[in-house]
């Protein structure tokens, strides 16, 4: 097997020595080329080259969810083709590693590498669905390039939190769960539209869902992790179905306390709920419009401000070794 290992040297939970051990373990089982990323978007470029070359059977992403997202977007640059394109394997090296853990991989780079090698020997793989976000035709965002996401996206409040975390990391702060919690509080205090939402969700043949403060789009469950605790916004979400959405139309202090508690105690059976919560399941396509520009995030990566985004759930988009 010919494989490309894409290594993010800034991965927060792997040392240079650990990465060297993992490289040798993988190289013992396959013809491996390892490349270390040097700039934002490099992992995407490397995966695209691997997909276009026709000479690579497998791309292994060693890093966090951001690295995985870049690799996926590189592999699917010209669209999904699971039978032709290289497969994907993920060695978790970030602070949260939602995609790898949602696939059932251990949240430890060494153990996950062992699981991947076992899966390769046994020929174990699955073809997962992914989400695709595009600029909406006829809007000022229609020229925005399409982008794939693996586990979640969000417009509004949660994307604002992601943006604040990225700013803190650029200033040298470490990505910790305490950092995220602090930015949630700051985003809440600075949220201008928490009582009167500006987002409308539209889907073909259905009544629109209006006045949302935040819309969280899930391609799988859980939504994320707080330490080792999984948190579920859309418990029915699955790699084998379309996209799920949780929309909240009120973020008053009482509502935040209620939904925060529900999120912390959420389970595979039940997520946040109430009269100001709208839950939609297994959607093939829908559009989120906002009356004002709002922050957008995908797979924990802040993508700037948008007023309209069209989402598509694409089933059987990518082969994953697991």
The answer for residues whose C-beta is within 8 angstroms of residue 137's C-beta and 6 or more apart is 310
Eight-state DSSP code of residue 254: H
| E-state strands within the chain | 2-7, 31-36, 58-63, 87-92, 125-135, 147-149, 152-156, 199-202, 209-212, 214-218, 224-226, 229-231, 243-248, 277-283, 285-298, 301-321
As given in the structure block, the two tokens for residue 80 are 């999904």
**CA dist., res. 301 & res. 86, Å (int):** 24
Give the three-state DSSP class for 40.
coil
Cis omega (within 30 of 0) for bond into 222 = yes
Q: For 34-59, what is the mean pLDDT? A: 97
pLDDT of residue 210: 96
pTM for this predicted structure: 0.91
Task: Give DSSP secondary structure letters for 207-237.
Answer: --EEEESEEEEESSS-SEEETTEEE-S-TT-
Among 136-145, 170-179, 210-219, name the one with the lowest average pLDDT: 170-179
Give the three-state DSSP class for 164.
helix
Helices (H) and strands (E) in the chain, counts: 8, 16
pLDDT of residue 176: 65
Is 90 exceeded by the pLDDT of residue 251? no
As given in the structure block, the two tokens for residue 48 are 């695209």
Is 80 exceeded by the pLDDT of residue 232? yes
Taking the CA atoms of residue 288, residue 195, residue 270 and residue 107 in that order, the dihedral angle to the nearest 10 degrees is: 70
Give strand pairing partners of 217: 153, 245
Q: What is the pLDDT of residues 175-227, one digit of tens each?
A: 666 766 776 667 666 666 556 789 999 999 999 999 999 999 999 999 999 88
Q: What is the pLDDT of residues 81-119, one digit of tens each?
A: 999 999 999 999 998 999 999 999 999 999 999 999 999
Of 207, 285, 271, which is closest to residue 242 (Cα–Cα)? 285
pLDDT of residue 189: 63
Radius of gyration of the chain (CA): 19
């Amino acid at each position: 097997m010919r494989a490309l290992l894409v290594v993010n040297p800034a991965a927060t939970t792997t040392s240079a020595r650990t990465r060297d051990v993992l490289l040798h373990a993988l190289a013992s089982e396959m013809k491996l080329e390892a490349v270390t990323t040097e700039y934002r978007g490099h992992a995407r470029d490397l995966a695209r080259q691997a997909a276009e070359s026709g000479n690579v059977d497998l791309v292994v992403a060693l890093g966090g969810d951001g690295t995985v997202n870049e690799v996926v977007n590189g592999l699917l640059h010209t669209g999904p083709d699971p039978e032709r394109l290289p497969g994907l394997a993920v060695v978790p090296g970030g602070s949260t590693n939602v995609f790898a853990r949602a696939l059932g991989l251990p949240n430890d780079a060494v153990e996950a590498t062992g699981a991947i090698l076992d899966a390769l020997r046994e020929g174990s793989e699955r073809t997962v669905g992914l989400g695709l976000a595009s600029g909406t035709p006829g809007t000022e965002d229609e020229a925005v390039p399409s982008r794939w996401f693996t586990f979640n996206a969000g417009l509004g409040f949660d994307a604002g939190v992601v943006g604040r975390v990225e700013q803190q990391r650029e200033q040298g702060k470490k990505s910790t769960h305490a950092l995220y919690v602090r930015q949630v509080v700051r985003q809440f205090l600075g949220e201008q539209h928490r009582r009167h939402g500006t987002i409308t969700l539209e889907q073909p043949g259905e009544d629109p869902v209006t006045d949302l403060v935040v819309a969280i789009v899930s391609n799988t469950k859980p939504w994320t992790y707080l330490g080792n605790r999984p948190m579920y916004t859309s418990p029915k979400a699955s790699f084998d179905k379309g996209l799920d959405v949780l929309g909240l139309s009120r973020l008053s202090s009482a509502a935040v306390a209620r939904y925060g508690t529900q999120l912390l105690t959420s389970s595979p059976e039940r997520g946040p709920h109430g009269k100001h919560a709208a839950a939609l399941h297994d959607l093939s396509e829908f559009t989120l419009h906002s009356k004002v520009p709002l922050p957008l995030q995908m797979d924990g990566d802040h993508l700037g401000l948008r007023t309209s985004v069209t989402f598509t759930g694409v089933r059987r988009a990518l082969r994953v070794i697991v």
